Amino acid sequence: MKKIILLAAIGLFSTSAVAMPRYDSQSLTCSSVHDKLAQEGSIVLRHPSHIHPDMMMYDRYVTNSVACIGQGAMAGVSVPTKDDPNCKVKTCVFATGKGPNKNH
């Protein structure tokens, strides 16, 4: 029974992740990124890597820690937008005991 519940939960999460809105962060202003997060709760943003600018990254950004349940903790990061190269947003990160594990 536990396996069935776990598989159902994974299937539900996978389905909702596929339907999650995706945006190019550099085509939006920082304010519009925050507006979209407020309206939708979580979104996927595409943006250049901080370390390797020629590599595009896709990450999920959230409005609150409830969106991170089972996926780690919420942490502040920045993404480049049309008007702000360091627009502050929140994302879920896996805790390793050594701080957030975000390498981009």
Split at pLDDT 50, 70, 90, the class of 80 is: very high
| Distance of alpha carbon 4 from the chain centroid | 28
Whole-number percent of the chain with pLDDT over 70: 72
- Report the C-alpha gap between 84 and 42 in whole angstroms: 20
- Report the C-alpha gap between 77 and 87 in whole angstroms: 8
Split at pLDDT 50, 70, 90, the class of 30 is: very high
Bigger pLDDT: 12 vs 54: 54
What are the residue boundaries of the structural domains of the chain, listed by start?
A: 21-93
> Looking at the predicted structure, is the pLDDT value of residue 82 above 60?
yes
Q: Residues 88, 79: contact at Cβ < 8 Å?
A: no
pLDDT tens track for 42-77: 999 999 888 898 999 999 999 999 989 888 899 999
DSSP string, the chain: -HHHHHHHHHHHHHHHHHTS-EEEGGGS-HHHHHHHHHHHSEEEEEEE-SS-TTSEEEEEEESSGGGGTTS-EEEEEEE--SS-TTEEEEEEE-B-SSSB----
- pLDDT, average across residues 76-95: 93
> Looking at the predicted structure, is the pLDDT value of residue 18 above 80?
no
